[in-house]
Structure 1
Amino acid sequence: MNPDSAFLFFVALFLLLIINSVLLQLVSATPTALPFQLLSLLSLKSAIKDPFSSFHDWDPTPTFTKSGFQDPIWCSWSGVECHPNSPEITSLDLSRRNLSGYIPSEIKYLTSLIHLNLSGNSFLGPFPTAIFDLSHLRTLDISHNNFTSIFPPGISKLKFLNVFNAYSNNFTGPLPLDLAHLHFLERLNLGGSYFNGRIPGSYGGFSRLKYLHLAGNILEGQIPEQLAYLTQIERMEIGYNTFSGGIPSEFPLLLNLKYLDIAGANLSGTLPWDIGNMTKLQNLLLFKNRITGEIPQSLGKLEALEELDLSENQLTGAIPSDLYNMKELTELSLMGNDLSGEIPEALGDLPNLASVQLWNNSLTGPLPQKLGSNDKLLQVDVSSNMLTGPIPPNLCHGNKLFKLILFSNKLEHELPASLANCTSLTRFRIQNNRLNGSIPYGFGLLENLTFADFSNNNFSGEIPADFGNAVRLQYLNISQNAFGASLPENIWNSTRLEIFSASSSEIVGDIPDFIGCRSIYKIELQENNLNSSIPWTIGHCEKLLTLNLSLNSLTGIIPWEISTLPSITAIDLSRNLLTGTIPSNFQNCSTIESFNVSYNMLTGPIPSTGTIFPGLHPSSFIGNDGLCGEILAKPCAADTLTAGAIEVRQQQPRRTAGAIVWIMAVAFGIGLFVLVAGTRCFQAKYNRRFGGGDEEIGPWKLTAFQRLNFTAEDVLECMAMTDKILGMGSTGTVYKAEMPGGEIIAVKKLWGKYKENIRRRRGVLAEVDVLGNVRHRNIVRLLGCCSNRECTMLLYEYMPNGNLDDLLHGKNKGENFCADWMTRYKIALGVAQGICYLHHDCDPVIVHRDLKPSNILLDGEMEARVADFGVAKLIQTDESMSVIAGSYGYIAPEYAYTLQVDEKSDIYSYGVVLMEILSGKRSVESEFGDGNSIVDWVRSKVKIKDGINQILDSNGGASCASVKEEMVQMLRISLLCTSRNPADRPSMRDVVLMLQEAKPKRKLPGNVVAEC
């Protein structure tokens, strides 16, 4: 090789070595930067349970080309975003994919990640600390998961973090302290978990924080004054905890605060006197606390305020007069306090006011007469005050008012005629006032009106005939007025009318023909001046349950058509002028529980066969001299004549005077014997029913669980006369009873026989004694128990709005209730809180065992009360447990092989109730398929496209996007509660917290119709 060739060879070799070195660097650099990102994503895919194949497009195969070079195709995978100029992953969004399992440690290889969203899934276990190695993170959202245990230290490594959202998890222990080192944090949400202890004072050191949410935990102690140093804070939600003390006096320094919610937090003390300095405040929510004192006058300086809710506190004094400054105010809620004085006239001048809730205070004086003139008023509730004067004439000036509640005041003068033209009105209650004049024509023509109560006023004149044309009216009460007129001839023609009450209203004339009576199940016309006969057309009222025509001047006979009504349970025709006999058809009517025809002019025998009359008290028939029969211990004339005829045939045709005397003596003896025997029979029946001296039956005993203003005798007397049956179930009949002092209670008379096992009854009373100590706002209160050895009657508080089953599936479906998602949510939360109390706060634990909509009662404000808990347990028999431990469609699947029910069984039943609330369907329907329940149906629907839309009830607001989102959150809760494995079901305490996290937006009730 010559020198030139050798030189060229060495140059070529040198260049080749340089090229190889560069290639080796490229090859070695690529695996360290890009494959680790791929490894991280594939590790996520393998560690996470993905029931709906959310990762179907995460396919690594195309990332390797024929040339062997790697192509970063992961940048096109769903949920993955890369830097626009490089293959570095900057955002990973796995939210709302129904994922579960755990987050692997390989996630730390996504070193360029800026945004990470894992929300809306079911990730379990402790929070993965590998995420703390993602030092470039700006946004971290882990909300709506099931992360547990104490929140681990190390989050301070994420020194550039702007947003941290951990809402709705199961974290325990204290709030993480090292969060305070995140100086760039602007939004912090730790609400809806089980964090306990105090709010660290260091949380006041976030110099850029604009949003703080700590609500729905178990935080206690005083609210730290250092939170007033959050100079940039705009929204603070720290309610639904158990703080001590009041609102820090330094809070008015939060000059940028727009939204403050410390509701349901056990706050005490007074409101800061300078609260008006928070001039940017738009929403002030402090309801359900123990705040005392007066409302500061400085509140009137909050000119930007849109919503003020100080309800359910202990506030006193007057409403500030400076309300006229609050030009943006839309919602004012001060209900449930002890406010006095007059309502400021300035309230009527507020241009945006839509909702006024002032009920249950001690307010006096007139309502602002300009109220409603702004054309925006939606609802007014000032009931249970001491207001006087006239009703403002322009309440419905904008024709948007849907609820007007004015009852239990001292309002005077005539009803404004404008209200009879308010087509938006759905609920109208003005009872217990001093209103006079006539009821204006037009209320019956209001197309949306469902509930109208005019009772206990001084109305007179004609009863408007348009009530008979009402298209949606379900409840009409015009009782206790002074009409002095007859009923309209078409009064029964209202197609949806269910309850009509016109008692004590000086109504005269005839009862109109019942032709057209379709939906009515209760008619109350007692204590009037009706003087006709009872129309035979009453047979058209096929759904009638209760008929009360007592204390009138009705004549003629009792129509036999009444006895043909298929559902009639209570009839009171007492104190009239009725003649003729009691139709014998009644003895075949098995539904009647109460029948009173006392003080008429009836004649003939009382039917003695069948199931009704032998069990009635004699007082139901007294005052009818011509009635006879065994129940009155008065033999009928035909029976006496027959007995005499037999005696005569036994004698010779001719008798002396002595023989005649002897015959008379025998007849007298027989009569005396019959009288004594009948008297003893009557006394035995009376004692058996009302606790006379019969030692076998025993006297009546009243066991009271709180101070009662009535006695056992009062209950018994009322039960003997009552005709107001609220319902019947497998355990007994429930009556509405008004005690002498005016208290209205519900009396449940348990089914039972005279010779019932005494030991079993003693068990009933022993368990009732335990249940009598239950005290919770969402549990129907057991007031007491009346019992002897024959009968047991349970005394409960009265629930005027019936039960959830009627509202979901009865005649009200699709109307006022079903359009109100807020009401559905409120009921669901109330039931959960009640069952949570039974499971976690009672010792021993009480398991309901038969939770279903018909056992969920609703009070006057639609607050849910769980009823009949433990009753199945109270009346245990030796029969199979399946007979008493639940209802078909609500029983947990494990019952089939364990034959036991516990707290997890209740939680399963509650999940079924949630599904009914969300879907509007019953637990078992034919469309679900043979042998399937609503749980099977829902689980099948969530697996298909648009299946959720088929589940959610459009009448409940599902057509509105914001409402649908909240309904989907509740659907997730229901699926958890109905897990087949009992161990997978959450505790009821967890359910309550999850529901609180899913609470609807507070402005929903007023806007849902307009927006959706």
Structure 2
Amino acid sequence: MFLLRQCFVLISLTLFQASSPASLPSSAIDLLKFQDSLPLHSQKLLPWNQSSSSPCQWPGVSCYPNKSFQVKALNLSGYGLSGSIPADVFKSKKLVQLDLGYNSLSGSIPPEVSFCTNLEYLGLYNNYLSGEVPSEIFSLPKLNSLYLNTNNLTGLLPDFLPSCAISDLWIHENAFSGSFPFTLSNCQNLTVFIASQNNFEGVIAPEIFKGLLQLEVLYLDGNKLEGEIPQTLWGLENLQELVLSGNKLNGTISERISQCPQLVTIALSGNNLVGHIPRLAGTLQYLTNLILFDNKLDGSLPSELGNCSSLVEIRLQNNLIGGNIPPEICNLENLEVLFLSNNFIEGRIPRQIGRLSNLKILALYSNNLSGIIPSEITNFTKLTYLSFAHNDLTGEVPFDLGKNSPDLDRLDLTSNHLHGPIPPNVCNGNNLRVLTLGDNRFNGSFPVEIGKCWSLRRVILSNNLLEGSIPTDLERNSGVSYLEVRGNLLDGKIPAVFGLFELQLSSNMLEGPIPCSLSKINHFSSVLNLSYNKLSGTIPGCLGNLDKLQILDLSSNSFFGEMPTELNNMISLYFVNISFNQLSGKLPTSWMRIVASYPGSFLGNPELCLLGNDAGYCRNIREGHTRRLGRHVLAAVIICVVISMALLCSVVYIIAVRVLQHKYHRDQSLLRECHSHTEDLPEDLQFEDIMRATEGMSDEYVIGRGKHGTVYRTESANSRKNWAVKKVSLSGDNFSLEMRTLSVVRHRNIVRMGGYCIKDENAYSIRLTEKVDVYSYGVILLEIVCRKFPVDPSFEEGLDIVSWTRKKLEENDECVCFLDREISFWNRDEQQKALKLLELALECTESVADKRPSMRDVEKHDNNSRVGAISMSCTHV
């Protein structure tokens, strides 16, 4: 029995020793230590079992084939591991490959990485590693592939030893800073260097590229690099991909680019490069992608680019490129993307463009293109995006546009001079999502085919000459979220499109009431603009269901009746305009805050309570309106009496004509006197001196105001004498009388009159000059964009709309702040148009007439600015 017990103990001990870590190879023990150092949930992600006699069977582990159980490669990419990288993983000197990418590892990189002297591949990409990179990594003698990209690594790049064997270096999407070390040129085997999206700065040292003759891929985009592109870079004969976009590089693109014959991709966008696109780029037969947008390149588009038969993508938008589109570009049969927008390209679109059979994106918007749209663009069978917007194109759009392009996703022809019908086949493939044809002269009816295009999401046809009603099919198209057809000649009823976020139907001829079906649109959350139509009836209470709507404009229609209380439910509204209707009664309580901010949006409704909602106040308004109606009846009677006295008026007219003729001759004499007296002003003072010294009669120089005018202090530029200048505001007779009186009166309390003058533009002719008309036109423009009277009650004493505007400009650079508040809700393009109007108004109201433009110049300015119909509710109209 004793011997049996001893055998049992011996057998148990042997079994225990066989399964203990001491019986495993050292490499397996190091791996188990690595596993144990990870958080518990990460340990479970590594199904390593110490009961196995060989770690070479474990997932992610590869060993040498000589049965030594030495680990050669450890590939744990994408296992979802977290925690820090333990130093134990680097203890194996035999380790050749270590890949820990696509995990959630954090902390710093252990300097023990230097123990892996045979390491050839190190992948720590796509983790959350931080801190500086230990210099020991770059001293590994056999390391040729280093992937540290997409982490949070910081600091400077360490120096590279002369023995650097790295061929692939990926460090992009980190936070490295400083400049690239000169010693990078020691890595003479380097073929791929990707350092995008970091904080590298400074000038790229030319010496770096002298030793990188094997370099094929260079990505330095998304940094803060400055200076010119080193000339030594253009000596890299093996370079295939050059990406330096999104830096602060300047200078030109060298003609030496032809010395990189293997180039496939050139991406230099988002810099400050100037000069021409080098013509020798046309010798790059492998060039596939030419990406130079967002620079300051000028000159014309080189015709030699037509020789780059491999080109697939040309992106040159947002530069200063001019000239015509060379027909040779149309020889690029492989071209898929042609982006030339926001330049100064002129001339016609070449008819040969139809040869680009693989073209998918054609963007020529915001140039100076003219002529017609060639019918050859209907040949594109793969087209997805087409934009000719903001040019000077004329004529009709080819009838078959879109017919052969079933994948067309977006069509934009905004702001041209196009006319004729809208092509019916633009949505032939039912993939069109965005259709913008506004600010043209399209006529005819609203295309029925558009209503049946179920893929549409955004439709803008504003400021054209479209007639008829909006197709009923559009109401069933729940995909349309934005519909803007303002500024046309559309009639009929308001459509209810059940997917809308925004509806712009202003400035048409729509009739009838507002349908309650609009209130059933659940997504209606942005704008409902029905202003300037012929809509009538009461405002329906069902609109209160639009509790997400932010802007409501019903101005300049014929709505009447009281405001329904249900509108209180529109809790998201921050702008309302119901001006110039026949509305009455109390406003919804929740709207009173809007009245305080935009009082002009409620004018033109005589019976509407604006200053309070108590019953007595509203009753007084109604009674006052009734009294006004009585006075209107009385006025009608008086008019009838006046008409019956027409004969008597004729006699009075004849007498008046004779009196006016006499007054005319007298005024001619007075004007001649005025002309002669203009020469009698003091020798040291002229009219221009007065306007310059008082800064255009600024309030800053006012020293007194009276019943008959305002007195300003001025100083002669020559003699430095002070003069008091009175700007009189009297009728012709009173003006003459005051001039005579002041010229002869002598009193110690009255300053002696030294002379008087009138603007030359009015003094030399009894007829008001064109410059006066220009000034008046400028005042009208200011009334429109500011929504103010010429002498508005809100102005300070002595200010008119011209001086008030100039004062506001001096106080605040943000013009939009004091313009009509409705402008602040417009999109950026419309705001720019309003600012152009303001700029024109200021030019027209210059105090010195010679500085004002002529009416012909004003007309050209209007045509060039293409302001179009701006939807404003002028409170004083």
Tell whether 2:483 aligns with 1:500: yes
Change beyond 3 A, Cα 1:740–1:165: closer
Q: Which amino acid is 2:814 matched to?
A: L
Say if 1:539 and 1:336 are closer, same or farther in 2 by CA, change over 3 A: closer
Shift of residue 224, structure 1, vs aligned partner = 2.4
Q: Is 1:437 paired with 2:420?
A: yes
CA offsets 1:534-569 (integer angstroms, 9 cap, x no match): 3646556545564433334x2652353664553455
- Between the aligned partners of 1:225 and 1:590, the Cα distance in structure 2 is 65
Aligned runs of 1:453-602 on 2, under 5 Å?
Answer: 453-507=436-490, 509-511=491-493, 514=495, 517-530=497-510, 532-534=511-513, 536=515, 538=517, 542-543=521-522, 544=524, 546-552=527-533, 554=534, 556-558=536-538, 560=540, 563=543, 565-567=545-547, 570-576=551-557, 578=558, 580-582=560-562, 584=564, 588=568, 590-591=570-571, 594-600=575-581, 602=582
**Residue number in structure 1 paired with 2:48:** 58
Whether 2:25 is the aligned partner of 1:46: answer no
In structure 2, the partner of 1:708 is 814
Letter in 1 for 2:432: L
The one-letter code sitting in structure 2 at the alignment partner of 1:741 is L
- In 1, the alpha carbon distance for the partners of 2:169 and 2:310 equals 28
Deviation of residue 250 (structure 1)? 1.8
Q: Does the 8 Å CA contact 1:628/1:635 hold for their aligned counterparts?
A: no
Deviation of residue 291 (structure 1)? 1.4
Contact 1:186 1:211 in 2 (8 A): yes
In the other structure, the counterpart of 1:799 is none
Instruction: Give secondary structure in 1 for the equivalent of 2:835.
Output: coil
Asked if the contact 1:608–1:614 (Cα under 8 Å) also holds between the matched residues in 2, the reply is no
* Alpha-carbon distance between aligned partners in 1 of 2:594 and 2:223, rounded to the nearest angstrom: 55
User: Gaps spanning 5+ residues in structure 1: where?
Assistant: 1-30, 64-72, 644-685, 727-733, 745-1012
The match for 1:175 is: 157
The one-letter amino acid paired with 2:195 is: L
Aligned residues: 636
Change (3 A) 1:444 1:210: closer
The answer to which structure, 1 or 2, has the higher relative contact order (CA under 8 A, 6+ apart) is 1
Distance apart, 1:456 and its partner CA: 0.4
Instruction: Verify the 8 A CA contact 1:444 1:468 in the aligned structure 2.
Output: no
Three-state SS of the structure 2 residue aligned to 1:245 is: strand
- 292-301 or 218-227, larger mean C-alpha shift: 218-227
Between 1:151-160 and 1:81-90, the stretch displaced more is 151-160
- Out of 204, 209, 212, the position equivalent to 1:223 is 204
Q: Provide the C-alpha distance between the structure 1 equivalents of 2:23 and 2:92, rounded to a whole number of angstroms.
A: 10
For residues 521 and 191 of structure 1, the distance between their equivalents in structure 2, rounded to whole angstroms, comes to 41
Percent same amino acid at aligned positions? 25
- Indicate whether 1:448 and 2:431 are aligned: yes
Write the distance in 2 (CA, Å) between the matches of 1:622 and 1:196. Answer: 60
Cα shift readout 1:631-651 (whole Å, capped 9, x = no counterpart): 7988568757999xxxxxxxx
What letter matches 2:388 in structure 1? L
Query: Which residue is equivalent to 2:141?
Result: 159
Which range moved further: 94-103 or 229-238? 94-103
Deviation at 1:495, TM superposition (A): 2.4
Structure-2 separation of matches of 1:334 and 1:583: 55
Q: What corresponds to 2:585 in structure 1? A: 606
Q: How far off its partner does 1:276 sit?
A: 1.9
Pairing 1:350–2:332 present: yes
Q: TM-score normalized by structure 1?
A: 0.57
Q: 1:203 to 1:548 in 2, by over 3 A?
A: closer
**Cα separation, partners in 2 of 1:642 and 1:393, compared to 1, 3 Å:** closer
Distance in 1 of aligned mates of 2:90 and 2:593: 82
Secondary structure of 1:455's partner? coil
**Aligned runs of 1:526-925 on 2, under 5 Å?**
526-530=506-510, 532-534=511-513, 536=515, 538=517, 542-543=521-522, 544=524, 546-552=527-533, 554=534, 556-558=536-538, 560=540, 563=543, 565-567=545-547, 570-576=551-557, 578=558, 580-582=560-562, 584=564, 588=568, 590-591=570-571, 594-600=575-581, 602=582, 605-607=584-586, 610-612=589-591, 616=595, 619-620=600-601, 622-623=603-604, 639=623, 707-710=813-816, 712=818, 714-716=819-821, 718=822, 740-741=834-835
Indicate conservation of the 8 Å contact 2:279/2:305, yes or no. no
Question: Is this contact kept in 2: 1:292–1:316, CA < 8 A?
Answer: yes
Contact 1:268-1:292 within 8 A present in 2 as well? yes
Q: In the aligned structure 1, how far is the partner of 2:375 from the partner of 2:132?
A: 59
Distance 1:510 1:285 in 2: 53
Provide the C-alpha distance between the structure 1 equivalents of 2:22 and 2:307, rounded to a whole number of angstroms.
65
Whether contact under 8 Å (1:715, 1:739) holds in the other structure is no
1:235 — aligned with what? 217
* Superposition deviation, residue 152 in structure 1: 2.9
Could you say what secondary structure the match of 1:250 adopts? Answer: helix
> Partners of 2:580 and 2:607 in 1: how far apart?
11
Query: In structure 2, do the counterparts of structure 1 residues 498 and 41 end up closer, same or farther at CA, with 3 Å as the change threshold?
Result: closer
Q: Cα gap change, 1:206/1:533 in structure 2, threshold over 3 Å: closer, same or farther?
A: same
SS of residue paired to 2:338: strand
Q: Which has the larger radius of gyration?
A: 2
* Partner Cα distance (1:43, 1:407) in 2: 65
Q: Take 1:320 and 1:217, find their aligned partners in 2: how far apart are those partners?
A: 34
Q: What TM-score does the superposition give when structure 2 sets the normalisation length?
A: 0.65
Measure, in 2, the Cα distance between the counterparts of 1:46 and 1:540: 63
Aligned 8 A contact 1:560 1:585 in 2:
no
Report if aligned partners of 2:574, 2:594 keep a CA contact under 8 Å in 1. no
1 CA distance for matches of 2:413 and 2:116? 63
Change (3 A) 1:54 1:211: farther
Structure 1 position 331, deviation (Å): 1.3
Alignment correspondent of 1:963: none
> Residues of 1 paired with 2:38 and 2:609: CA distance?
82
Q: 2:81 aligns with which of 84, 99, 102?
A: 99
Q: How many Å separate the matches in 1 of 2:135 and 2:535?
A: 86
> Is 1:539–1:564's contact at 8 Å kept on the other side of the alignment?
no
Give CA-to-partner distance per residue, 1:745-771, whole Å, 9 cap, x none: xxxxxxxxxxxxxxxxxxxxxxxxxxx
How far the C-alpha of 1:190 sits from its partner, in A, is 3.0
User: How far apart are the structure 1 equivalents of 2:514 and 2:45?
Assistant: 72
Q: CA deviation at 1:274?
A: 1.4
Q: Which residue is equivalent to 1:257? A: 239
Q: Is the 8 A contact 1:75 1:81 kept in 2?
A: yes
Change (3 A) 1:599 1:61: closer
1:196 to 2:177 alignment: yes
Match of 1:247 in 2: 229
Distance 1:200 1:708 in 2: 46
Quick one: distance in 1 between partners of 2:258 and 2:199? 30
Shift in alpha-carbon separation, 1:496–1:636, aligned structure 2, 3 A: farther
1:387-406 equivalences under 5 Å are 387-395=369-377, 397-406=379-388
Deviations 1:707-751 (A, max 9, x none): 333552x244x47xx9x699xxxxxxx9x978842599xxxxxxx
Contact 2:607 2:621 survives alignment (8 Å): no
One-letter amino acid of the counterpart of residue 26, structure 2: F
Secondary structure of the residue that 2:112 maps to in structure 1?
helix
Matched AA of 1:262: L
Alignment match, 1:409: 391
Structure 2 counterpart of 1:36: 26
Is the contact between residue 35 and residue 43 of structure 2 (CA under 8 Å) also seen in structure 1?
no
Amino acid in structure 1 at the alignment position of 2:505: L
Cα RMSD after superposing both structures: 4.0
Q: CA deviation at 1:484?
A: 4.5
CA 1:596 to 1:218, structure 2 compared with 1: closer, same or farther past 3 Å? Answer: closer
| Partner deviation per Cα, 1:142-161 (whole Å, 9 max, x = no partner) | 22344444433344653222
| Separation (CA, whole Å) in 1 of partners of 2:221 and 2:831 | 40
Distance apart, 1:44 and its partner CA? 1.6
Q: Which stretch of the first structure deviates more once superposed, 267-276 or 133-142?
A: 133-142
